[in-house]
Structure 1
Amino acid sequence: MRRIFQCNLFILLTFFFTFTVPVQAEDGYDLWLRYPPVVEPKLRKAYQQQLGDIVVEAASPVLVAATSELQRGLGGLLTKPIAVGKKLTNKALVIGTPANSPLIASLNLSTRLAVLGNEGYLIEQTQINKRDVTVIAANSDVGVLYGSFQLLRLLQTQQSIKKISYTSVPRLQHRVINHWDNLNRVIERGYAGLSLWDWGTLPDYKSQRYVDYARINASLGINGTVINNVNADPRVLSDQFLQKIAALADVFRPYGIKVYLSINYNSPRLFGDLETGDPLDPRVAKWWQERTKKVYEYIPDFGGYLVKANSEGQPGPQDYQRDHADGANMLAAALKPYGGVVFWRAFVYHPDIGDRFRGSYDEFKPLDGKFADNVILQVKNGPIDFQPREPYSALFSAMEKTNMMMEFQVTQEYFGFATHLAYQGPLFEESLRTETYAKGEGSTIGNILEGKVFNTQRAGTKHTGMAAVINPGTDRNWTGHPFIQSSWYAFGRMAWDHHMSAEAAAEEWLRMTFSNDKKFIEPVKKMMLSSREAGVNYRSPLGLTHLYSQGDHYGPAPWTATMERADWNATYYHRAAKDGIGFNRTQSGSNAVAQYPQILAKQYADVKTVPEDLLLWFHHVSWDHKMQSGRSLWDELVHKYYEGVEQVRSMQHEWDALESFIDAERFAQVKALLKVQERDAVIWRDSCVLYFQTFSGKPIPTGYEQPKHDLEYYKTLARTRYVPEPWHPASSSRVLK
């Protein structure tokens, strides 16, 4: 009976994996998992000679997913059918773990695999029973899955796999993406359609798009997804929605992805069960214990809770005169029996604060060491709010006894939504490689996140991680602008290894998404690597920040001064006046520089040594201040704004020259969007230069094209501009602002 069962299982798996990949238009749906044939005949032949059929000796859901991907990918890349079986053949691709594959076990890899942990993997050309084979081995099935995607990536990017001996281990434990999806399917700060989660048809209908979403993320080593908005609807914890979420978890599980939920801190009250949400009230703690138990009954491998508390009107422990540690630890206790964690966001600021820059540090630094071991403080890369350039959040170098993880933003809330090309890899790299000197040289943000700088190990537990707000939607290509895919890709690759460069991630993405032709790769890679800086230059150069129109965060409104809260106004941040511009955060101002380690505090506090791209973050500077270029501050500011526009125009020219390398559909879309970006960049440039000119009283230097309109025109334009609708971005309509 056992042999009959095994035979039937093998036949079923073979049938499941044997298929023809349908030919699809180049509409961006497949992202970087396209698997077109390897064009170079010699290289394709070399791959074909080394890689034979797939040998897999177990049939777990994760191994089924890995085998399916390998068969899909190799079949497309090598243009030959790939069979799956248990019998060893020459040139076979053998995948598995020593525990579930006797063939892998025969290689005696235990010592080498021991250092790879639960998610690392080994890819190697070797021999088994005197047969030449390639193996993908790991300590767990999910490690095999990650190794399978890496092998395909090597082939997609035309790397040699001859005599390959390759190992990889993730540097961070929690590699998580955050969605800001609401239960009505509208996505806050989402610009590519409705929410992916069709709550009306779940749990009965599981869209193929859910599977593809899981494949996409697993290919990067992402192992967690928070599927709902941090401004959370309490209904997400109801039985009705837990049934639906459990169905999603079932789809994601074979790809090594855990589900997390954003929760509303006042859920006990909003469910009508209690009149309080006080974390020190035993009734509240019991409520969360019982509700958490219910969650795990639906989703046995549930990851945990993400919490936005006492920020932007969201409820939290401070409503009950408790602190963040009190609130986080109560939830952590409810999750701990199941191995769950709390991601507690450090994004907090209050209307009465003197300097919003100081908010998170002043609230959380006194709590260092008071958080439970399964609480991870989720900190944005900068102290304000995902701005095009910020100094690093001082919390990273201050919280020595607290688990921390980075929070980046892929969705382009402050970078032109889904209409501008702004590859975020350089921003990620800049942040992760920032030297904090917290414990001397080598105390980079990346090393802090990895746990190499501070001893965060308490009670035998250490948590590290990185998160990104991604917000893909139902647009066919997932992200709206095709190049936003590259930021999603870069985040995943850097979350796996924070030493990876933005350039390396960009090249991989280009090769997998478009072409391996160097004549295409080099100019587009250069364009991508300059695009973030272009976005900084035409929006907020030299340390200016938050010059956006409120509500939509799309266009310029540096004149905003009438909002009910000071820190919602652009004038609060730039402080332009006749005597100069910039926010004084030195000892004579808000003294925010004191939050940084001494070596940086000294550097930032001195107008002569502060990096010029952070100058106006820390200093109020005269319009006549001499810059490193020899220009005055006014002339340098104008130069930067004009440089940003010219960088966009350069991207247009570079793209236009590459039409022959790209499919017509994606070429036309990017060409049109670059035209929109140039239009918007000019509006940003002219609006800001003309506005700040009212304070400097200085002319625009000769040699620069003059604005076509006066300042009042741009102020009117800001009030009547059509922009993507901020509260219902999935709509194809436009709202009058």
Structure 2
Amino acid sequence: MQYKILVSYIVLFCMLPFGVKADDGYRLWLKYEKVNNTALLNTYRQTFQSYKVGTKSPIINAATSELTRGLKGLLGSDIKETSAGTEGTLLIGTPQNAPFIKSLKLDKQLKTLGNEGFLIQTVTVKGKKCTVIAANKDAGLLYGVFHLLKLVQTHQSVANLSVVSAPKLDVRLLNHWDNLDGTIERGYAGKSIWKWDELPQTVDSRYTDYARANASIGINGTVLNNVNSNPKILTEEYLSKVKALADVFRPYGLKVYLSVSFSAPITIGGLKTADPLDAGVKDWWKKKADEIYKQIPDFGGFLVKANSEGQPGPQDYKRTHADGANMLAEAVKPHNGIIMWRAFVYNSNPTVDRTLQAYDSFKPFDGKFNDNVIVQIKNGPIDFQPREPFSPLFGAMPNTSLMMEFQVTQEYLGFSKHLVFLSTLFEEVLQSDTYAKGKGSTVSNVLQGNYTTGRLTGMAGVSNIGNSRNWCGYTFGQANWYALGRMAWNPDQSSEAIAGDWLKMTFSNEKEFVDPVKKMLMESRENTVDYMTPLGLNHIMAYNTHNGPGPWVDTAAQPNWKSTYYHNASAEGIGFDRSSTGSNAVAQYFPPVRDTYNNIEACPENLLLWFHNVKWTYKTKSGRSLWDELCQHYYAGVEGVRAMQKTWEGAKSHVDAETYADVMEMLKLHEEEAVIWRNSCVLYFQTFSKMPIPAGLEAPDKPLSYYKTLELKYP
């Protein structure tokens, strides 16, 4: 048996590309592999020989620990702390905790960087070159260290550095939809990483690595539990567990937040009501907040899902969303806490277009929310679909703090089975122009507070993390976690730059690898839209599981959960009429956007069926009929997945054999499911169009009846 194991290891080793070690993905983008470019390596070694740091603190200790860990791996040699300012020294500190930083007189540069920004500069001290990482607060130094390590990881020049960076958004979060029993709602990478049964006595070392990873991309907060909250999270038993996590996260600038149930005063408090205007309810929440902050002084605050999909809320008592949010805001305000109140609300009324309901529910209360409330809005008006127009609430509430909610877990995008780089989705939404204050009023600018009087800004991403060894269930799923952090730090960052950095840090700096695989990433989301929901189709997935196609779904717990509600396919045509002659959802947008969406000829074709019911024979911009154009997109999506396989084949010599094989296996599964999506939708919609599949496209190999009974497996 031992001989067989030895032979297996030898075979595996021989399969690896020369110099490439097998990797299990646990280290994410923080692998810190030794620089393989000799000239660069020598330059880095000369530049970073030692470091000098100001007064120590838990955050500075975390920063210097990461620095020494990272540079030891990247340079293959230790970097030591020194008390002298010599050539090749890294100077790290704030003007307050390091006299040698104060002496550099960087006050003007630091003035605009706030509490989390940093600068990295090459300076000359007493005739000798040094590299400075300076900030106003320790958190900025931590982010600066991670940025410096990224420069080395991505083989950037460090000869004459002049980097100035500060987050454009204040609150940058992961939202975990993790349940107290260890399951994760819409999680596809195993069970929760929070081991509630072991906490607080046993604290897993993985929690530190989680905090490190988030700090490396600028994420400064984490919501530990599902928005469909179990009230037990607020009990003394669980708060001691939350405290244990907060203690681990604190040195990495990561605050803890909790999702709370609005009815907690009843379910765990013994009250008879949760009416937000009731004095007893107010007092209960105030005391609960005091209890939490006594254990966790830097606790971030609460995230609330209320009066949505059966969750309790203020409307149960004929109160408003503002009433509910403000009551909780008053409870946490003495502790500098915030309330994130989700705008994801809709009812089951089939006569009211679901896309209208969040806007109609929140627009009337603009300016009514307390200044420590931030309204958290999903990127589109429905629910994390492969493509949606931006939510009209962005720009429509100038007197309210607003934050973005993206989904990183791929609930509607093939779970952790499909390779979909979501950064391009994020960028598309963020760069959409709301015209709230004329041209240039992008969603990004709205989020940054440029067109609101609200004092808070933020972005959250619904996490794709589980206890899978590689965190996300799929190596390429890590890119979406990484992209979320980068976009939250700077919503105007390009997806192409993010993709390039992630590939270099995760796999290889070789141009022959990076260029084609980056192109693959950049095209991946459009491929997915094509084989799932082209031309503005949406919400046609399998019922409940959301795993695979289900355009035929016509039975559901409520009308606006049915696929047929959204696509409205008939013998005449397909699509949801949201123009001025339909539900008039276009009216929720500012005039230039409204007018574009309202006009079938001007409407972007990638949203055509979102806003219009279109005849099958309608002539599209390509000159093809709508039916032929729809088919071409479905087939192009599958071909795109097949092209990704060819790209990955070309990357074989740049990655280890195990990673190569794992990704290729997933890409083959991806192709199988893309074909299922394509065939299911084309065959189903053909029953209405009665038109042939265009010549030259491969005919589906099974009848529609087969696909209707098919159930796709979970990852």
How does the TM-score come out when normalised to structure 1?
0.93
- Kindly state the Cα deviation for residue 207 of structure 1 after the two structures are TM-superposed: 1.2
| Match for residue 417 of structure 1 among 400, 407, 415 | 415
Distance 2:464 2:184 in 1: 7
Does the Cα contact within 8 Å between 2:48 and 2:88 map onto a contact in 1? yes
Q: Counterparts in 2 of 1:230-241, with a 5 A limit?
A: 230-241=227-238
| Map of 1:455 onto structure 2 | 453
Distance 1:401 1:369 in 2: 5
- Kindly state the Cα deviation for residue 701 of structure 1 after the two structures are TM-superposed: 1.0
The one-letter amino acid of 1:340's match is G
| Map of 2:69 onto structure 1 | 72
- Kindly state the Cα deviation for residue 365 of structure 1 after the two structures are TM-superposed: 0.6
CA displacement 1:653-695 (0-9 Å, x = unmatched): 1111211111111111110000000000000000000000000
The one-letter amino acid of 1:386's match is F
- Kindly state the Cα deviation for residue 25 of structure 1 after the two structures are TM-superposed: 4.3
- Kindly state the Cα deviation for residue 497 of structure 1 after the two structures are TM-superposed: 0.7
Does the Cα contact within 8 Å between 2:410 and 2:464 map onto a contact in 1? no
Q: Counterparts in 2 of 1:141-180, with a 5 A limit?
A: 141-180=138-177
| Map of 2:713 onto structure 1 | 723
| Map of 1:5 onto structure 2 | none
Residue 320 of structure 2 corresponds to residue 327 of structure 1: no
Cα–Cα, structure 1 residues 435 and 636, in superposed 2: closer, same or farther, change >3 Å?
Answer: same
Distance 2:288 2:374 in 1: 21
Does the Cα contact within 8 Å between 2:21 and 2:656 map onto a contact in 1? no
656-665 or 218-227, which deviates more = 656-665
| Match for residue 436 of structure 2 among 435, 438, 456 | 438
Distance 1:362 1:398 in 2: 11
| Match for residue 398 of structure 2 among 397, 400, 423 | 400
Distance 1:316 1:25 in 2: 50
Partner SS, residue 625 of structure 1: coil
| Match for residue 257 of structure 1 among 249, 254, 257 | 254
Partner SS, residue 393 of structure 1: coil
Partner SS, residue 408 of structure 1: strand
CA displacement 1:610-667 (0-9 Å, x = unmatched): 0000000110000000000000000000000000000000001111121111111111
Partner SS, residue 261 of structure 1: strand
Q: Counterparts in 2 of 1:238-637, with a 5 A limit?
A: 238-352=235-349, 354-456=352-454, 462-637=455-630
Does the Cα contact within 8 Å between 1:124 and 1:135 map onto a contact in 2? yes
Distance 1:583 1:64 in 2: 56
Distance 1:283 1:357 in 2: 36
Does the Cα contact within 8 Å between 2:535 and 2:606 map onto a contact in 1? yes
| Match for residue 643 of structure 1 among 636, 649, 652 | 636
Distance 1:315 1:352 in 2: 18
Q: Percent identity?
A: 56
| Match for residue 115 of structure 1 among 90, 112, 135 | 112
Distance 2:335 2:87 in 1: 45
The one-letter amino acid of 2:468's match is D
The one-letter amino acid of 2:558's match is R
Distance 2:640 2:273 in 1: 54
Does the Cα contact within 8 Å between 1:407 and 1:468 map onto a contact in 2? yes
The one-letter amino acid of 1:577's match is S
Distance 1:25 1:525 in 2: 22
- Kindly state the Cα deviation for residue 402 of structure 1 after the two structures are TM-superposed: 0.6
The one-letter amino acid of 2:354's match is R
- Kindly state the Cα deviation for residue 59 of structure 1 after the two structures are TM-superposed: 1.4
- Kindly state the Cα deviation for residue 129 of structure 1 after the two structures are TM-superposed: 3.8
Does the Cα contact within 8 Å between 1:180 and 1:471 map onto a contact in 2? no
Partner SS, residue 43 of structure 1: helix
The one-letter amino acid of 1:686's match is N
| Match for residue 85 of structure 1 among 76, 82, 85 | 82
CA displacement 1:235-288 (0-9 Å, x = unmatched): 101111000100100000000010000000000000142010000001100000
Partner SS, residue 574 of structure 2: coil
Cα–Cα, structure 1 residues 24 and 522, in superposed 2: closer, same or farther, change >3 Å?
Answer: closer
| Map of 1:52 onto structure 2 | 49
Distance 2:464 2:294 in 1: 28
- Kindly state the Cα deviation for residue 111 of structure 1 after the two structures are TM-superposed: 1.8
Cα–Cα, structure 1 residues 84 and 25, in superposed 2: closer, same or farther, change >3 Å?
Answer: farther
| Map of 2:220 onto structure 1 | 223
- Kindly state the Cα deviation for residue 470 of structure 1 after the two structures are TM-superposed: 1.2
Distance 1:272 1:249 in 2: 24
The one-letter amino acid of 1:672's match is E
- Kindly state the Cα deviation for residue 110 of structure 1 after the two structures are TM-superposed: 1.4
Distance 1:390 1:383 in 2: 7
CA displacement 1:693-736 (0-9 Å, x = unmatched): 0000101011000000111111121xxx2421xxxx8xxxxxxx
Cα–Cα, structure 1 residues 452 and 582, in superposed 2: closer, same or farther, change >3 Å?
Answer: same
Q: Runs in 1 of length 4+ with deviation above 4 angstroms?
A: none
Partner SS, residue 340 of structure 2: strand
| Map of 1:711 onto structure 2 | 704
Partner SS, residue 94 of structure 1: strand
Distance 1:541 1:664 in 2: 35
Does the Cα contact within 8 Å between 2:54 and 2:94 map onto a contact in 1? no
Partner SS, residue 65 of structure 1: helix
Does the Cα contact within 8 Å between 2:547 and 2:712 map onto a contact in 1? no
Distance 1:114 1:716 in 2: 63
- Kindly state the Cα deviation for residue 127 of structure 1 after the two structures are TM-superposed: 2.5
- Kindly state the Cα deviation for residue 565 of structure 1 after the two structures are TM-superposed: 1.1
The one-letter amino acid of 2:371's match is D
- Kindly state the Cα deviation for residue 563 of structure 1 after the two structures are TM-superposed: 1.4
Does the Cα contact within 8 Å between 1:77 and 1:155 map onto a contact in 2? yes
- Kindly state the Cα deviation for residue 132 of structure 1 after the two structures are TM-superposed: 2.2
Distance 1:706 1:630 in 2: 23
Distance 2:119 2:21 in 1: 33
Distance 1:193 1:623 in 2: 43
Distance 2:231 2:319 in 1: 21
Q: Give unmatched runs, 5+ long, in structure 1.
A: 1-22, 457-461, 730-737
511-520 or 579-588, which deviates more = 579-588
Partner SS, residue 532 of structure 2: coil
- Kindly state the Cα deviation for residue 86 of structure 1 after the two structures are TM-superposed: 3.0
Distance 1:632 1:219 in 2: 49
Does the Cα contact within 8 Å between 2:117 and 2:140 map onto a contact in 1? yes
Distance 1:32 1:537 in 2: 30
- Kindly state the Cα deviation for residue 420 of structure 1 after the two structures are TM-superposed: 0.6
CA displacement 1:60-111 (0-9 Å, x = unmatched): 0000000000001111111111112333333111111111111111111112
CA displacement 1:516-551 (0-9 Å, x = unmatched): 000000110010000000110000000000111111
- Kindly state the Cα deviation for residue 394 of structure 1 after the two structures are TM-superposed: 0.5
Partner SS, residue 434 of structure 2: coil
Q: Give unmatched runs, 5+ long, in structure 2.
A: 1-19
Does the Cα contact within 8 Å between 2:395 and 2:451 map onto a contact in 1? no
Distance 2:162 2:390 in 1: 38
